[in-house]
Structure 1
Amino acid sequence: MIRSLRGRLFVSLTAVVLLTGLAGGVFAHRWAFDEAIETQDSVLIQIAGLVQSGGLTGAQDLHGVDEDAEVWLIELGKTPQGTPEERQLWRLQDGMRDAARKGKPVRVVLRTRSDGSRFAVAQSTGVRDEIAGDMAFRTVLPIAALIPCLMLVIAFVVAGSLRPMVHLADELDARPADDMTALPLRDLPSELNPFVSSINGLLRRVHEMMEQQRRFIADAAHELRTPLTALSLQAENLDRVELPPAARERLAVLRQGMRRSKHLLEQLLALARHDATPPDRAPGEVMELDRAARGVIADLLQEAISRDIDLGFDRAESVLVCGAFVMFTAMIRNLIDNALRFTPEGGKIDVAIYQDGATAVLQIEDTGPGVAADEIGRIFEPFFRGQRPEGDGVGLGLSIVKRIVDRLGGTIEAANVIEPRRTGLRVVVKFPAAGT
C-alpha cells in the first residue's frame, strides 16, 4: 500500500493515462486497419474500372501500382478456362470477392466486358493485411510515444502541486523545539488552509501548556527554596551540638539530601528563567567567550584541586560571540561541573576555545568513563542521569546547556573519547563568531 500522497497521485494519474492510451490505441489501430483495407479495396476497384475501359489489357502483374502490393490482372475469357482456380473465379458474380490464387487467399474484383469476356483484379490477402497493419501501427505510434511524455508531465505537475506542502514540512522540521509561532497562511493553496489552521491551533495549545508548566516549575522552586534554606540553617546549627556518632551520620545524610534538593531548585529556577525568555528577545551584546570561561575555571579550580583533577586550558584564543555574558557563563559552568562530577581523582579536564573561520568553538574534554553508546543521544534530556549517576546531580545541567545553546543560535555535540589507554567525553559547542 502506497502511503505517500505524491505516490498515490502519480500512480492514479498514470493508471488513467495508461488505460486511456491503451483504449485509444486499440480503437485507433482498429480504425486505421479498417481504413487501410477499404483504401486498398478502392484501389482494386479503380484498377478494374481502368481495365474495363481499355486502359490495361492482358494478364500481368501490376507492379506499377505498388512494388510490394502484389496486384495481378487475370484474364478469365468468355468461358471457364485455365487453372481450376481461374475456372472457379469465372463462375463467381461480378463484384468484390474473396478467393484463392496459387493456394493463397486473395481479394479480387470481378468484371465482365461488353463483349462477354471476364477479368479479375486480385491482391494477396496477406500483403493487404501487412500493409494495413503497418499503416495502423504508424497511426498508433504517436500515441505510444506521447504516454511517457504525459507521465513525465504528470510527475512534474504532482511535484509542483505538492511543493507548498513540502516547504511547510521543511519549515516545521527546521524550527527549534520551543518555537510555537503560528505558521503563515500566505502563498498556500486554499486546500491547505484548514490543515495549517489546525496546526496553528495545536501549537497555540501546546504553547499555553508549556507556559503553565514553566510557571509551575518556577513557582514551586521559588516556594520550596525558603523552607529548604531554613532547614539548611537548622542543620548547620546542629553542628555545634554534641551528638552521638550515629546521629552525626544521620545528620550528614540529611545535609547531603538538602544540598541535593537545593541544587535541584537552583537548576529548576535557572531552567525556568531561560525558558521564560523568547529566543528573539535574548540579549545580543558582544562578549569575549574566553573571558567567560576563565572566570568559571577560576571559580571551580579549588574544587578541582581538592580532587586532584587537572583543570585548565588546552587552547585559549580571544573569540568574540554575541549573547548575554550570564548565559555563556551558566553554560560553561554546567559543562565543567558535569565534567568534574564524572572525572575520577587524578584525572584531567581540558578546555579549548578557538575560532574556526566564522565559527567560535568551545570544547571541553574529560578523562571520565564516558557515556554508554545507547545513552549518549539522551544526555541533553531533562532529568536524564544514565546508568552511572554520580554525586548530587539531578540531570538538569546538560539540559540547561542545550536550552542556552539553542537560544544563542549554536549547536552542541557530545562524543565518547576512545583512544588507547584513555576514555572520556568530549563536548563541542559552536556559535557564530561576532563580526563575521
Structure 2
Amino acid sequence: MLISSLRRRLFTGLTIFIVGMALAAGYLAYRWAFDEAMELQDAILLQVGSLAARNHLSTTLPSEGNIDGEAQVVIEEIKPGAAAAPRGNPVSQLPSDLPDGFQTVTRGGTQWRILVRTRSDGSRVAVGQPTANRDEVAQDSALRTIVPLGILVPCLMVLIAVVVDRSLRPLSRLARHLDAKQSDHLEKLLTEGIPTELLPFVASINRLLERIAMMFDKQRRFVADAAHELRTPITALVVQAENLEQADLSKDGRDRLNSLKTGIRRTGHLLEQLLALARYDNDVSGGNPQGEFDRVLKEVVADLLPAAQDRSIDLGFARIEPVSVRVEPVALTVLARNLLDNALRHTSSDGRVDVSLFAENEFVVFTVEDTGSGIPDADLDRIFEPFFRGSHSRGEGTGLGLSIVRRIVEQCYGSIRLQNKPTAEGSGLRATVCFPRK
C-alpha cells in the first residue's frame, strides 16, 4: 500500500540519517573525551614532576584512603651511566640519555608514559604511569561521554516513529474515506483538518470526482433519453403485433408472430428497467414521506401471485409486520417487485418463495427466500453490476433488476445482502434488505 510504503520510506531514511550522524558524533565525542583524559593525566604528571624536581622525591607515592591503583604515580631518580632496568621495577635504572619531557618507553614488556625533569644541580628525576592504566581511565571517561548519546538515539527513533505516524494519519484517513465511498456517491472531499501539503492533492481528487460526476450525469441522461424515445416505436410495434393477431395466419406465421411479441415484450421490459435505473441514480430519499412498506409489499405479492400459481410456486408471507420507512412508495414497489420477480424466475415448479417484513432494533428488515439453485460463488461479486445476468440466468431478465434494487437501497442509506442458504436448509437464495426506521 502507498501509505505504508511512504511511512516506511520516511522512517527508514530518517533512521539511516540519525544513526549515521549518531555514529559520527559518537566517534568524535569518544576521541575528544579520550584525548581530554590523556591531557588531564599528562597534566597530573607535570604537577607531580614539578614537586619531585623541587623536593627531591624519589619513591612510589603512597596509596592512602581509596586511591585507585590505576592512578598510582611512580617517581625514580635517573642515575648517570644507567643503561638498562633490572627485573623488578621497570622504571628503575632508566637510561641516562633520555631527553627531558614526555615520552613513552617500554620496560619489562610494559609501556610507560614518563616525564623526565632535570634539576638545577644536574640531577634528573622521572615520573611515570603504565600506559595500560592511563588508556583504561581514558576509555572509561570517553565511554561515559557517549552513553547518553546511545540512550538518546533509540528514544529519538521511537519519537520519530510516532511523529511520522501522526503526520501521515490525515493521508490514511483520506484513503479510508475514498475506499468507503460508494461508486455512485461522488461528493467532494472535505478540506477541513487536511494538512496544507495535502490540499493540492485533495483539490486534484475533487476535480477528478467532478469530471466523473459530469460523465455519469451525461450517461444517465443519455440512457433516460434513449429509453424514453424508444418507448414510442415499441408501443407502435405492440399495437401492430396485436393487429396481426386478428389476421388469418398460418401455423408458421402464428409461431413467428409469437416470437415477435416475445421480443417486443422483452425490449419493452428492458426500456422500463433502463428508465427506472436512470431515475434511481438520483436521490430518492430526500424529503420523502414515510411509506407503508407492508401495504406496498402486499400489493406486489398479490400482483405476482397468479404468475406464481401458474408455475405451482408457493409464494407467501413467512412474517409480516406493519412498518414504515422514509422511501417513496413507487421506489418500494420497484424494489419489492424486482426481488420477488428475480426469486420467482429462478425457482423451479413446485418450489417455494417466502417473504418476511419486520422491525428489528433500529432497522426495518425485508427478506426474500427461494428454493432455487442460488448464485454461483464466482458470480456473487458481480451480481449487482448492470446487465450482468450470471452464468445460470433464466427467463427474460435484463440484468438490471438487482442493480436498480441496490441503487434504491443505497440512496436510502440502507444495505442489501445476497447469500446462498446453508446446505442444511436446502438450496436457494436469501436476499436481505435493511432500511433505517427513521
TM-score relative to the length of structure 2: 0.92
Change (3 A) 1:167 1:59: closer
1:29-428 equivalent positions in 2, closer than 5 A: 29-54=30-55, 57-60=58-61, 62=63, 66-76=67-77, 78-80=79-81, 83-84=85-86, 85=90, 86-275=92-281, 277-278=282-283, 282-420=286-424, 422-428=426-432
**What SS does structure 2 have at the residue aligned with 1:182?**
coil
Structure 1 window deviating more from structure 2 (175-184 vs 299-308): it is: 175-184
Mapped partners of 1:333, 1:55: distance in 2:
120
Structure 1 window deviating more from structure 2 (209-218 vs 349-358): it is: 349-358
Mapped partners of 2:432, 2:48: distance in 1:
94
| 1:18 correspondence with 2:19 | yes
How many percent of aligned residue pairs carry the same amino acid? 47
Mapped partners of 2:321, 2:43: distance in 1:
97
Change (3 A) 1:412 1:283: same
Deviation (angstroms), 1:406: 0.2
Deviation (angstroms), 1:110: 1.9
Count of aligned positions: 432
Deviations 1:28-86 (A, max 9, x none): 11111111111111122222223333395533565668414252323235435583453
Mapped partners of 2:328, 2:202: distance in 1:
35
Mapped partners of 1:68, 1:357: distance in 2:
84
Mapped partners of 2:298, 2:385: distance in 1:
27
Change (3 A) 1:402 1:116: same
Mapped partners of 2:192, 2:104: distance in 1:
73
Mapped partners of 1:243, 1:16: distance in 2:
92
CA contact (8 A) 2:105 2:111 kept: yes
Deviations 1:308-354 (A, max 9, x none): 11111222233332222221221111111100110000111111222
CA contact (8 A) 2:345 2:395 kept: yes
CA contact (8 A) 2:74 2:129 kept: no
Deviations 1:372-425 (A, max 9, x none): 111111111000001112111010000000000000101111111231472111
**What SS does structure 1 have at the residue aligned with 2:248?**
coil
Mapped partners of 1:226, 1:310: distance in 2:
37
Mapped partners of 1:323, 1:240: distance in 2:
44
Mapped partners of 2:51, 2:299: distance in 1:
115
Specify every segment of 5 or more residues in structure 1 that has no aligned partner in the other structure, as ranges. Answer: none
Deviation (angstroms), 1:193: 2.7
Specify every segment of 5 or more residues in structure 2 that has no aligned partner in the other structure, as ranges. Answer: none
CA contact (8 A) 2:363 2:437 kept: yes
CA contact (8 A) 2:358 2:365 kept: yes
Mapped partners of 2:35, 2:352: distance in 1:
93
CA contact (8 A) 2:78 2:94 kept: no
CA contact (8 A) 2:78 2:93 kept: no
Mapped partners of 2:7, 2:79: distance in 1:
76
CA contact (8 A) 1:61 1:72 kept: no
Change (3 A) 1:62 1:47: farther
Q: 2:40 is aligned with what amino acid?
A: T
Mapped partners of 1:356, 1:122: distance in 2:
94
Structure 1 window deviating more from structure 2 (201-210 vs 286-295): it is: 286-295
Mapped partners of 2:300, 2:286: distance in 1:
21
Structure 1 window deviating more from structure 2 (114-123 vs 19-28): it is: 114-123
Q: 2:195 is aligned with what amino acid?
A: P
Deviation (angstroms), 1:192: 2.4
Once superposed, what is the RMSD of the aligned Cα atoms? Answer: 2.3
**What SS does structure 2 have at the residue aligned with 1:120?**
strand
Mapped partners of 1:105, 1:69: distance in 2:
14
Q: 2:9 is aligned with what amino acid?
A: R
Deviation (angstroms), 1:431: 1.6
Mapped partners of 2:57, 2:269: distance in 1:
119
Deviation (angstroms), 1:212: 1.1
Change (3 A) 1:66 1:98: farther
CA contact (8 A) 2:58 2:77 kept: no
Mapped partners of 1:404, 1:266: distance in 2:
16
Q: 2:283 is aligned with what amino acid?
A: P
TM-score relative to the length of structure 1: 0.92
